[in-house]
Amino acid sequence: QQQVRQSPQSLTVWEGETAILNCSYEDSTFNYFPWYQQFPGEGPALLISIRSVSDKKEDGRFTIFFNKREKKLSLHITDSQPGDSATYFCAASEGTNSAGNKLTFGIGTRVLVRP
């Protein structure tokens, strides 16, 4: 049973376009939603995160839009660059209040930005 779902599994955009990655979750107790970026041969690294009290979080060219009622969020990468080519994981947790603060990850979206 997948508690965090991501779509699409892969996405190709041209340089300068906006890439939109989707994520949805089932557990209403989730309140912390980080996105991790992973390059081939490396471990994931935190890119940007949002808490359920907010509906938008922006960091440079990366923006998270969050809809608590629909249990959906999306990551927008504006002005995509070839260096953004990576796999992006949406994750969720109950925050530091939960035992171990266990993160549940989606299966990831592989993004390719063509020059």
Partner 1 sequence: EAAVTQSPRSKVAVTGGKVTLSCHQTNNHDYMYWYRQDTGHGLRLIHYSYVADSTEKGDIPDGYKASRPSQENFSLILELASLSQTAVYFCASRETANERLFFGHGTKLSVL
Q: Does 89 bind partner 1 (CB under 8 A)?
A: yes
Q: Does 41 bind partner 1 (CB under 8 A)?
A: yes
8 A C-beta contact, residue 4 and residue 23: yes
Closest to partner 1 by CB, 19 or 33: 33
Distance, in Å, from the CA atom of 46 to the CA atom of 35, rounded to the nearest integer, reads: 6
Distance, in Å, from the CA atom of 60 to the CA atom of 40, rounded to the nearest integer, reads: 23
8 A C-beta contact, residue 38 and residue 47: no
Tokens (6 digits) for 19: 């890439």
Q: Does 107 bind partner 1 (CB under 8 A)?
A: yes
Torsion of CA 60, 62, 63, 64, to 10 degrees: -140
Q: Does 44 bind partner 1 (CB under 8 A)?
A: yes
Residue 73 beta carbon to partner 1: minimum distance, rounded to whole angstroms: 16
Residue 99 beta carbon to partner 1: minimum distance, rounded to whole angstroms: 8
Residues of this chain that bind partner 1 (CB under 8 A):
4, 6, 32, 34, 36, 41-46, 49, 89, 91, 93, 95-96, 99-108
